[in-house]
Copies of this chain bind each other. A is one copy, B any other.
Amino acid sequence: MTKQILVTNDDGVLSPGLLTLVQEMQKLGNVTILAPDRNWSGGGHVKTLDRALRVREFRLEDGSQAFASDGAPSDCVALALLGYFKEKFDLVVSGINFGANLGHDVTYSGTVTAAMEAAIAGLPSVAVSLEVPEGHIGPMDFSASGYAARVAAQNVLAHGLPAETLLNVNIPFLKKEEIKGFRVTRQGLRVYHSRLDERIDPRGRPYYWIGGDAPTGVPEPGTDVGSLSEGYISVTPLQLDLTDYRALSNVSTWEWAAKA
C-alpha cells in the first residue's frame, strides 16, 4: 500500500531544504506538506494552546501543493496528526535543516522537536539536518542530504522504529561523492561559545544580545559530531525518556524527609 508521508521543517515552507526533502520523499510514497510560514530556528518543543492557528495553502517551486501554518514545527505536526488532513500518516520527516543538529542542539531544535512530536503521537519520524559552515551564504547543495533522507526514511518504512524513537540524521558539508557513508551514532557533545553583548539603544537604554561564536563539537568517535568530522552521515536514534538512570540509586540515598 502506498505510504503516507508528512513533511515539515523548521526553516519555513519556502526553504529549498524542504523542497529537496519533498522530492526525495515523493519517490517513497504520497507526500503531504505542512510547515511553518516562517523560520523557527532555536524555537524548541512548542505546544501552542493559548491561541488559534491558521493554515494557508501554498505551492512549492516545483508546483507541489503545500500548507503553511503560523505555528511552530511541532504545532504543524500536531495539526496534521490531529486531523487537519484526512490522511493517516506512516512516517513524519522533518528538514532538511540549514545547519546541523548535534549534541544538545536536539533539545532546542525545531527540526528535531517536530520529529519528537510525531514520536510522542506514536509515529516513526526522521529529522534531517545539513551541516553549514559559519558564514556560508549559499547556494546550498542538498543532493547528499536528500539522498541521506531517502535512505533513512526507506529504512524506517521497511523496519519500523521502537515506540517513541526517532532518527536524527546529520549530513556533513561535503559533495555527495566525497561522503564516506553512514554511521549509526550516539549523541555527542557541543561546546557553546555564547557571549552576552550589552548594547545601548538610541534612547540610552541597555539591551542584550546572546552572541558569541558558533558552537563547536567534541569530535569523539562513535558520536554524531565525530562522524560528521570524519566525513560520514550520522544517524542517531533518539528517545524521550530523559531519566538519568545512573543517578537514580545515588539520589535515592540522599536524605529525603519522610514526611513533608
Interface centre among A184, A243, A259 (most CB of B within 10 A): A243
Query: Cβ of A7 < 8 Å from any Cβ of B?
Result: no
Please name the residue on chain B nearest to A194 by beta carbon. Answer: B82
Query: Cβ of A151 < 8 Å from any Cβ of B?
Result: yes
Copies of the chain in the assembly: 2
CB pair B257 A207 closer than 8 Å: no
Interface centre among A155, A187, A244, A250 (most CB of B within 10 A): A244
Please give, as numbers and ranges, the residues of chain B lying within 8 Å of A252 by CB-CB distance: 184
- From B167, B196, B260, contact of A79 by CB (8 A): B196
Known: A186-B241, A196-B84. A208 touches B256 (CB 8 A): no
Report the minimum CB–CB distance from A233 to chain B (whole Å): 7
Please name the residue on chain B nearest to A74 by beta carbon. Answer: B44
List 17 A–B pairs whose Cβ atoms lie within 8 Å, in order of A's numbering: A42-B48, A42-B49, A44-B45, A44-B47, A79-B208, A79-B210, A104-B120, A106-B242, A144-B260, A148-B260, A158-B254, A162-B246, A181-B257, A184-B248, A187-B241, A233-B260, A239-B244
Residues of A near any B CB (own CB < 8 A) = 41-50, 52-55, 72, 74-75, 78-79, 82-84, 104, 106-108, 113, 116, 120-121, 144, 147-148, 151, 155, 158-159, 161-162, 165, 167, 176-177, 179-182, 184, 186-187, 192, 194-196, 199, 206-211, 233, 235-248, 250-252, 254-260
